[in-house]
Amino acid sequence: MTGREASGTPLRLATVLPIATAIGVFGIVYGAAAESLLGVPLTLLSSVVIFSGTVQFTMVGLLAAGSGPLAVLWAVFVVNVRNFALGGVLRPHLRGSIRRRSLLSWFLIDETVGLALASPETADRTLLRAGLWAYGSWVLGTAAGVAGGATFGLESLAAAIFPVLFIGLASLMVVGAAGVARAASGAVVTLVLLMVWPALAGLAPVIGGLVAALPGGRR
Amino acid sequence: MTLETLLVLTAVLTYLSRAAAVALLPAARGPLLEFVGRLPAPLFAGLAMFALVGQDVAIPDPAPLAAVVGALAATPRRSLGVTLAAGLAAYLIVELVA
């Protein structure tokens, strides 16, 4: 049984709204941080054409530190490796032609993949709906950030929403005691990896998840 | 390389990795499908840990930590809405008290 079949939470506005708001707050932070480096037009363009907080913060952080374009592109490539894990999990649940899946893949981010897997609606529809919310929030947040928008201390609340969201998604995917143990293992391995090799950054949870999902024990 | 070119290449790399994962590569089958089926829970648990402690493994502030504890306490309900509500409530309580 897959996690999606085991769960039963439809995608409701009450669920997607806090997530979209948190993404918007981080969009504001990104817009404010990137504007001085990229300028207003390119900052807005980056959120419109990239739509990945992880990638964009990595890019701006490296540019601000004086890294060259090749170093930035290498980092972007490494960060994007996680998309293969997310896409691999979601792929069996997606229907339709290659063209349709190619279009939907635009919305492949951690949050939308989790919601698509957790919702009893079709993964395609959930990915599209949640993705539109997330994309709109990210672009609007960036625009607010470059316009000098303030988050009024909401960064802390926004930062708290993401671990809560991922805990909720993990709990929906867990099947049985072995599943709980695997989830806990994924979190612990991620923590150890980050402590030993912080440069792994966003790859650490992917590696932690892969290690914890290896065959062995009972599902 | 101009900033414009860098942005475009970054966008292309990001999109290609997404499209390859869900549109170009074949869907998992057999043992690989079983493995992929086991992946979401530990992957999202790992993402939760990463979102909580960050790249530098910083000790979280009390309010986000309370949000995580509240969310964990709500997980037996297996409801995303309840987990989010519990996490936010715990966050707000600690913020108000602190």
Joined together, the tokens standing for residue A134 give 């997330």
A62 contacts in chain B (CB < 8 Å):
none
pLDDT above 70 covers a percentage of chain B that reads 100
What does the pLDDT read at residue A193? 95
Q: Are B53 and B65 in contact (CB under 8 A)?
A: no
User: Which ranges of A174-202 does DSSP label H, i.e. alpha helix?
Assistant: 176-196
Give CA–CA dist B72/B57, Å, rounded.
20
- List the single residue in A84, A110, A114 with the smallest CB-CB distance to B17: A84
Residue A5 has pLDDT above 50, yes or no: no
Residue A17 has pLDDT above 60, yes or no: yes
Mutate to test the interface with B, among A2, A82, A94, A166 (most CBs of B within 10 A): A166
What does the pLDDT read at residue A153? 66
Per-residue model confidence as pLDDT tens digits over A155-165: 777 778 888 88
- Whole-model pTM: value is 0.77
Q: Please identify among residues 40-79 of chain A the ones whose CB lies closer than 8 Å to any CB of chain B.
A: 42, 45-46, 49-52, 55, 59, 69, 72-73, 76-77
Residue A186 has pLDDT above 90, yes or no: yes
Joined together, the tokens standing for residue A156 give 């802390």
Q: State which residue of chain A sits closest to B29, comparing Cα positions.
A: A92
- DSSP conformation class of B22: I
- Where in chain A are the domains? 7-173, 175-219
Q: Are A190 and A204 in contact (CB under 8 A)?
A: yes
- DSSP conformation class of B59: P
Residue A150 has pLDDT above 70, yes or no: no
Average pLDDT of A90-108? 92
Give CA–CA dist B36/A140, Å, rounded.
34
Q: Which residues contact A170 (CB under 8 A, 6 or more apart)?
A: A183, A186, B40, B41, B42, B44, B45, B48, B75
Give Cα separations from A185 to A149, A171, A192, B11 (angstroms).
40, 14, 10, 33
Residue A30 has pLDDT above 50, yes or no: yes
pLDDT above 70 covers a percentage of chain A that reads 90
**Which position has the higher pLDDT, A9 or A111?**
A111
**Which position has the higher pLDDT, A166 or A216?**
A166
- Where in chain B are the domains? 1-38, 42-98
Residue written as tokens 């089926």? B37
A118 contacts in chain B (CB < 8 Å):
80
Whether the CB of B6 is below 8 Å from some CB of chain A: the reply is yes
Mutate to test the interface with A, among B15, B32, B35, B49 (most CBs of A within 10 A): B49
Q: State which residue of chain A sits closest to B50, comparing Cα positions.
A: A205
Give CA–CA dist A130/A103, Å, rounded.
14
Q: State which residue of chain A sits closest to B11, comparing Cα positions.
A: A50
**B62-74 and B40-53 helices, crossing angle to 10°:** 160
pLDDT above 90 covers a percentage of chain B that reads 55
Question: Is B37 in contact with A3 (Cβ distance < 8 A)?
Answer: yes
Per-residue model confidence as pLDDT tens digits over A124-149: 999 999 999 999 999 999 999 998 86
Per-residue model confidence as pLDDT tens digits over B46-57: 989 998 998 889
What does the pLDDT read at residue B15? 96
Average pLDDT of B34-58? 88
**Which position has the higher pLDDT, A101 or A176?**
A101
Q: Please identify among residues 36-95 of chain B the ones whose CB lies closer than 8 Å to any CB of chain A.
A: 36-53, 55-57, 61, 63-64, 67-68, 70-72, 74-75, 78-81, 83-84, 87-88, 91
Average pLDDT of B27-32? 82
Q: Which residues contact A199 (CB under 8 A, 6 or more apart)?
A: none
Give CA–CA dist A194/B54, Å, rounded.
8
Confidence of residue A78 (pLDDT cuts 50, 70, 90): confident
Whether the CB of B30 is below 8 Å from some CB of chain A: the reply is no
Residue A115 has pLDDT above 70, yes or no: yes
Report angle CA A156, B15, A13 to the nearest 5 degrees: 45
What does the pLDDT read at residue A151? 61
Residue A43 has pLDDT above 50, yes or no: yes
Q: Which residues contact A14 (CB under 8 A, 6 or more apart)?
A: B81
- List the single residue in A73, A163, A179 with the smallest CB-CB distance to B48: A163
What does the pLDDT read at residue B39? 85
Q: Is B81 exposed, middle or buried (0-12, 13-18, 19+ CB in 10 A)?
A: middle
For chain A, the straight-line distance linking the first and the last C-alpha, in angstroms and rounded, comes to: 10
